Amino acid sequence: MTVMNISESPDIRQAFSNFPSGVAAICAVVDGVPKGLAASSFTVGVSLEPPLVSVAVQNSSTTWPFLKRAERIGVSILGTGQEATCRQLASKNPDKFDEISYTSTDGGAIIIPGCSLWLDCSLFAEYPAGDHVVALLEVHSADVHLHESPIIFHNSKFKTLDLVRSN
């Protein structure tokens, strides 16, 4: 077992990247323009009553200030084969949606087809957390796609999750 003194660590990201996580596309249409970001710091099931999920977003994000104004925010847990979509949403490209297929709800939440889970949310609260803000999103509806396997981000690489299903 390797014990790492965090205060002496040159790269805390390396330590954090050892925990596998799904990748969420956090997207909405704001003022008629699609906006979105990719987040691996997403947590499902923060609360059941009301139903809440959370996402941590960097304070330096230029997208979050738009998204948090949206009436509804779509959360798509990206599926296998959507690594390019994740990279595009994580980019600084102002035209992130040029090559991304999506649909939107009447409230403006964006759905990314091919995702394993989609949530229609609104901003419930946000809290400062160091160099990030933690946003709690209230879930208004959900759509599960059992045939789609989510992609996993682990050790700074995309990996697949082999789902084992029983009847």
Mean pLDDT per block of 10 residues along the chain (167 residues) reads 55 68 90 92 86 93 94 94 88 86 95 93 95 95 85 73 54
The predicted model scores a pTM of 0.85
User: What is the per-residue pLDDT for 19?
Assistant: 65
User: What is the per-residue pLDDT for 110?
Assistant: 97
The domain defined by 21-153 carries CATH number 3.30.565.10: no
CB atoms within 10 A of CB 69: 13
User: What is the per-residue pLDDT for 86?
Assistant: 86
**Spatial contact of 85 and 55, defined as CB atoms under 8 Å apart:** no
User: What is the per-residue pLDDT for 167?
Assistant: 45
User: What is the per-residue pLDDT for 148?
Assistant: 79
User: What is the per-residue pLDDT for 17?
Assistant: 65
**Spatial contact of 48 and 75, defined as CB atoms under 8 Å apart:** no
**Spatial contact of 61 and 37, defined as CB atoms under 8 Å apart:** yes
User: What is the per-residue pLDDT for 59?
Assistant: 93
User: What is the per-residue pLDDT for 166?
Assistant: 46
Domain boundaries, the chain: 21-153
User: What is the per-residue pLDDT for 8?
Assistant: 53
